[in-house]
Amino acid sequence: MAKKQSVEAIVDQLCAIFDESVANLRKALALYIENGTRPDPKARAKGCFAYPELRIDYHPTAPQPELSPTRAFARLNEPGSYASTIARPELFREYLTVQLQHLIDDYGVQISVGRSASEIPYPYVIDESGIELGNISTTELSRWFPANELVAIGDEVADGLGLQKSSETRPLALFDAPRTDFSLARLKHYTGTPVEHFQHWVLFTNYVRYVDEFVGFAIDALRRKDSPYLGFSVPGAFYERGQLENAEAEIAAGRWRRHQMPAYHLMAENGDGITLVNIGVGPSNAKTICDHIAVLRPEVWLMIGHCGGLRPSQTIGDYVLAHAYLRDDHLLDDVLPPEIPVPAIAEVQRALFEAAMKVTGEDEDDLKRRLRTGTVVTTDDRNWELRYTASSMRFNQSRAVAIDMESATVAAQGYRFRVPYGTLLCVSDKPLHGELKLPGQANAFYERAISQHLRIGIETLTLLKREGDDLHSRKLRSFDEPPLR
């Protein structure tokens, strides 16, 4: 049986090939900019700019585990060869080490590393390289250097379209290197923070006041001597324990407005902290951010935001725990048809309810009076109220209890990308019953509800950390699944 060190050595090989390819590409770019020297085609043919490839061979004669692993990932259903190109292996070191060790321990696989036929696009190596392109156009560079080709970037594997026959090499992971690098670059653009700062436990919100509350929570947590957190990353800045004197004011006045979906990372060892992303309003933003965070393979993402209550028994400030979703966002209909059910994840549902009891201090019966479980409608029409007759029929048929513009999209993306998901919303208005968000009502509601709601989300993540591998439900895995989570 291989020891963990051998797995770490495999990841070291991945890193060495990737780092060498990046160095080769940067050197070639610098020479071209300096004197027009073009890269050597023969060197490119040998993989001088190539992504590393990770390959696993599972032979029919390999020892079989006495008991099939109960975890949902790092499983092999049949013998064969599995391979994927790997981007930024140092960023994914812990993830790769854990996944590969499981496969070695349980299946006795043979793992090899080499250079792939896929080259690193030059735009991904320019940042932090000191290379100045000057007046050289991207069109000119693309003639002589590897560039992004959309035909090589897609979600065919995640959507079940890229699985090969058992006699051929099959995908090892949901995302290959070009897809991963594409999303890593987009994440920095949209959120204003380095991808290295993203944590494994993710909260999404649709309202900026949750950000203010999270900033306060993060700074207070860092001030505690027994805090497990190491620092706080925000758009354009990073705060360590000794730099917190004016942090809240600096963050409020900072660069977050420059970014479409600013992110805030309360960082801990091994990425075990919390990331909050203000995705704003609408299913398009929700889809976009999930498309890109998914490549980081987070442990879970939760939607913590506002909704419209649809039942007369609800009160502004009540909670809605989504057990089902009516997907009227329409963004994913082509890749995940609306008739495909998006199931609730039991471990997440239980943690959300237990966290609500702990934070509110209420017992189960009292909490149930103001926490409603049921179907949440996610619409792509911000003015759905103008089609009241059609909308009310739809709500009646679905037995919906709340409406928003993000939750079903986030859940569907979690289902699609095998990331555990959950939704706890707070009722901010009741449009069907004449209770709209008027200025006076809104201020009182926000002051009362937001702090508690955010703390429930954070406490939920604390509870989910105790689930370990059990959090990754087999509900999210297909019958013909790439081995890596």
Q: Do strands 170-171 and 319-328 pair parallel, antiparallel, or not at all (unpaired)?
A: unpaired
- Kindly provide the residue ranges of all beta strands, DSSP E only, lying in 102-245, ordered along the sequence: 110-119, 170-171, 201-205, 229-234, 237-239
Residue whose structure tokens are 């090892």 = 172
Q: What is the pLDDT of residue 63?
A: 65
> How does DSSP assign 105-120, residue by residue?
HHH--EEEEEEEEEEP
What phi and psi, each to the nearest 5 degrees, are found at residue 128?
60, 20
Q: In percent, how much of the chain has pLDDT > 70?
A: 94
- Taking only the tens place, the pLDDT of each residue in 148-194 is 988 889 999 999 886 555 458 999 999 999 999 999 999 999 999 99
Q: Which residue has the tokens 């979703």?
A: 325
- State pLDDT tens for residues 15-61: 999 999 999 999 999 999 999 999 999 999 999 999 999 999 998 77
What's the pLDDT score for residue 1? 43
Structure tokens, 196: 């290295």
Whether 163 and 480 have beta carbons less than 8 Å apart is answered as: yes
98 closest CA partner among 17, 175, 4, 197 = 4
pLDDT for 388 equals 80
Tokens of 169: 């090499």
| pLDDT of the residue at 165 | 52
Q: Which residues contact 290 (CB under 8 A, 6 or more apart)?
A: 301, 409, 410, 413, 414, 417, 419
Of 183, 379, 207, which is closest to residue 290 (Cα–Cα)? Answer: 183
205, 193, 371: which is closest to 277 by C-alpha? Answer: 205
- H or E element in which residue 454 lies: helix 439-465
- The structure tokens listed for 69 are 């692993």
Count Cβ atoms within 10 A of the Cβ of residue 240 and give its class: 0-12 exposed, 13-18 middle, 19 or more buried: exposed
Which pLDDT score, from 0 to 100, does residue 480 have? 83
| Rounded CA separation 391/397 (Å) | 10
Angle between helices 93-107 and 4-35 (to 10 degrees): 140
CA 406 distance to own-chain centroid:
15
Structure tokens belonging to residue 18: 């990737």
Q: What is the pLDDT of residue 444?
A: 63
pLDDT beneath 70, residues of the chain: 1-5, 62-67, 162-167, 434-447
pLDDT for residue 2: 41
Looking at the chain, the whole-number percentage of residues with pLDDT higher than 90 is 75
- 383-392 long-range contacts (CB < 8 A, ≥24 apart) are 385/431, 392/432
Q: Which of 172, 148, 175, 177 is nearest to 159 (CA)?
A: 175
- Cα–Cα distance for residue pair 470/264, rounded to 1 Å: 27
